[in-house]
A and B are shown apart, each in its own frame.
Chain A
Amino acid sequence: MASTNRTQPRSFGGMISRLLHKDSSLGYILLSPAFIFLAVMMAYPFFYAVWLSFTDKQIGAEANFIGLLNYTKLLGTNLFSKTVTNSLVYTTFALIFKFVGGLGLALMLNRPFIGQRVVRALLLLPWIMPTVFSTMIWSWLFHPTFSILNDILVVKLGLLAEPIPFLRDETWAMASLIFVNVWRGVPFFGITFLAAIQSVSPEIIEASKIDGASRWASFWRITFPMILPVVLIVMLISTISTIGDFDLPFLLTHGGPNNSTTLFALTAYMLSLQSGQIGLGAAVTLTMFPALIVLVVISLISVRRQEAQD
């Protein structure tokens, strides 16, 4: 390689073509657009947010440095403590149900049946279809007086005496929010788990069955440990996006009733854009940061481990 390079004329064109030829230079050239983009649109905003969170910046006003005042102010508010507990409840329950539902769905689809391809595609729709529009349909399904779900449960089937106050009661509102999150997320979990299960070699499972293990035992002792790395990564990625969720609480409940369903992004939106307290809003988003860092580090370790296995 080096000898062919030397025979090229030492012109500008030759230099360019050499740069585009060698791995070392070509690597940086190809990566630079992505990294310039991410530096300007992600790293810079991050530090900008840190600075904003130390100021009393309001819409249309000058920013003055106020130290940690925004953070100490937040810790004293009911809105912020509710945001933290809501996020904890929302993320924990959504993840548990998505895990259980996803595993159930994967095991269901792993068995051969008539129309498998069509059913698999149809079951992906809640994940594929635009969330904003499917959530608008859910808010119609949860209508305070004309909910078809209540009509089916109370009038048509007679299973309940009273209609469910889906979005009007604090506990029910959170439960409804979690339900829609799970409804949308289960197909993603199911399809990823299914792909992982199908990549486990059938011989190993057959061997365990010949050894007398029941289907149940062979799943938990053989298959599940082998798909565990994928399960972990999916759970971590989903945890992060669930904590940072804006769309569902904004569209279904606007954080209500009585701030019982607001999450970090929505609280930051309400404070910074609706009441104009930009510094305080930036501080709210940054309080997510410690949790995010921990989750990102765990994700990195589990991805590394999986790559080492492959």
Chain B
Amino acid sequence: MRTVKRIRRLRSVRNTILFYVALAAVVIVMLFPFYWGFVTSLKTEVDIYDFTGNFLVPKRPNLGNYATLFAEPRYFRWFWNTFYVSTVTTIISVFISVMAGFAIARLRFRGAALAGTLIFVTYLAPKGFLFVPLAQILKDWGLLGKLSSLMITYPTNLIPFCAWLLSGYFANLPYEPEECAMVDGASRIGAIVRITLPMAVPGIITAAIFSFTASWNELLYSIVFVSGDQNKMLTNGVIGAFAGGDWFSWGPLMAASTLSSLPIALLFLLFTDRFVSGITAGSTKG
């Protein structure tokens, strides 16, 4: 009896150790690229290609690659463009999606279900599907090449996702507080804005950080729709400057990759739970 218990305990200790080893392996595989990119950004031009000795830490750590980046005035311009376009896009997308999501989830009118279906279908359309005609349309409108072309095309892919996410959120909020406010004399819009919207703030934050992250990360539209160095975003700007064709400038490229990802990493650090709820809501709604 005793030996059986001991064997069981040993087995569970062994299983626990195996579990932590497997977990560590997974974490290392998933995170090593970020570490390697960051370490490379701290190396000198020569050390970048030197993997001898302790290759996991830079031999002569320095900020030379970041200095190269900061000496490039265009980089700040692209950073600002990305921030500006992402902010405007987020405001437009969230504003329109709050209205649409609310209507689909809480109002009874003919076609509400159909509207929900249409939103879902547009959510599924991949970005690579419509960029050819969109470029022609933007050209017809005289917007091709300008930053505003991105501000009006980015919401196309964001509104369906945000409206879908928010309709799931609104559907789960109680109806009574809004009805009470109306009995007390508030108008319908007043009751919605002052009573229901504040309850939906977590969902609205989720929609906003997803819109912002997606805009920050966008590549295809920024390559196709904007032109000229002063109108570039971080994505196409950095690639064009440091990864042009056959010539890659790895040190500055890794510095730019680290620095350009930083705002999103910060956002994730602040709103981890919102990101997680957005990811799961994307597939399950609500």
Binding site for B on A (CB under 8 A): 17, 20-21, 23-28, 30-31, 33-35, 37-38, 41-42, 44-46, 48-49, 52, 57, 105, 108, 111, 113, 119-134, 136-141, 143, 146, 148, 151, 155, 183, 186-188, 191-192, 195-196, 230, 233-234, 237, 240-241, 243-247, 250-251, 263-265, 268-269, 272-273, 278, 281-282, 285, 288-289, 292, 295-296, 299-300, 303, 306-307
Q: Is the CB of B99 within 8 A of A49?
A: no
CB distance from B172 to the nearest CB of A (A): 11
Q: Does B155 contact A (CB under 8 A)?
A: yes
The stretch among B5-13, B58-66, B271-279 that forms the contact with chain A is B271-279
Q: Is the CB of B279 within 8 A of A42?
A: no
Q: Which residues of A contact B127 (CB under 8 A)?
A: 244, 246, 265
> Is chain B's interface secondary structure helix, strand, loop, or mixed overall?
helix
Q: Which residues of A contact B250 (CB under 8 A)?
A: 140, 143
Q: Which residues of A contact B104 (CB under 8 A)?
A: 31
* Minimum CB distance partner of B139 in chain A: A59
Cross-chain contact of A233 among B187, B223, B254, B283 (Cβ < 8 A)? B283
Q: Does B34 contact A (CB under 8 A)?
A: yes
Q: Is the CB of A45 within 8 A of B216?
A: no
CB distance from B135 to the nearest CB of A (A): 8
- Please encode chain B, from 207 to 238, with 1 for each CB lying within 8 Å of some chain A CB and 0 for all others: 00000010011011001100000000001001
Q: Is the CB of A137 within 8 A of B37?
A: yes
Q: Is the CB of B159 within 8 A of A37?
A: yes
Cross-chain contact of B36 among A27, A108, A140, A299 (Cβ < 8 A)? A140
Q: Is the CB of A124 within 8 A of B275?
A: yes
Q: Which among A141, A234, A246, A273 has the greatest number of chain B C-beta atoms within 10 A?
A: A246
Q: Which residues of B contact A245 (CB under 8 A)?
A: 126, 128
* A124→B283 CA distance, assembly (Å): 16
Q: Is the CB of B36 within 8 A of A20?
A: no
CB distance from B50 to the nearest CB of A (A): 9
Give the 3 A-B CB pairs with smallest separation, nearest first. Answer: A244-B126, A265-B128, A27-B109
Residues of B241-269 at the interface with A, using a CB-CB cut-off of 8 Å, are: 243, 248, 250, 253-254, 256-258, 260-261, 264-265, 268
Q: Is the CB of A299 within 8 A of B132?
A: no
- Please encode chain B, from 13 to 31, with 1 for each CB lying within 8 Å of some chain A CB and 0 for all others: 0000001101100110111
Q: Is the CB of A111 within 8 A of B283?
A: no
Question: Given A125-B34, A285-B130: A34 and B283 within 8 A (CB)?
Answer: no
CB distance from A198 to the nearest CB of B (A): 10
* Minimum CB distance partner of A281 in chain B: B132
* Minimum CB distance partner of A18 in chain B: B188
CB distance from A284 to the nearest CB of B (A): 8
Cross-chain contact of B126 among A23, A126, A278, A292 (Cβ < 8 A)? A292
Cross-chain contact of A31 among B19, B100, B120, B253 (Cβ < 8 A)? B100
Q: Which residues of B contact A37 (CB under 8 A)?
A: 96, 155-156, 159
* A8→B188 CA distance, assembly (Å): 15
Q: Is the CB of A108 within 8 A of B30?
A: no
Cross-chain contact of A269 among B40, B119, B224 (Cβ < 8 A)? B224
Q: Does B67 contact A (CB under 8 A)?
A: no
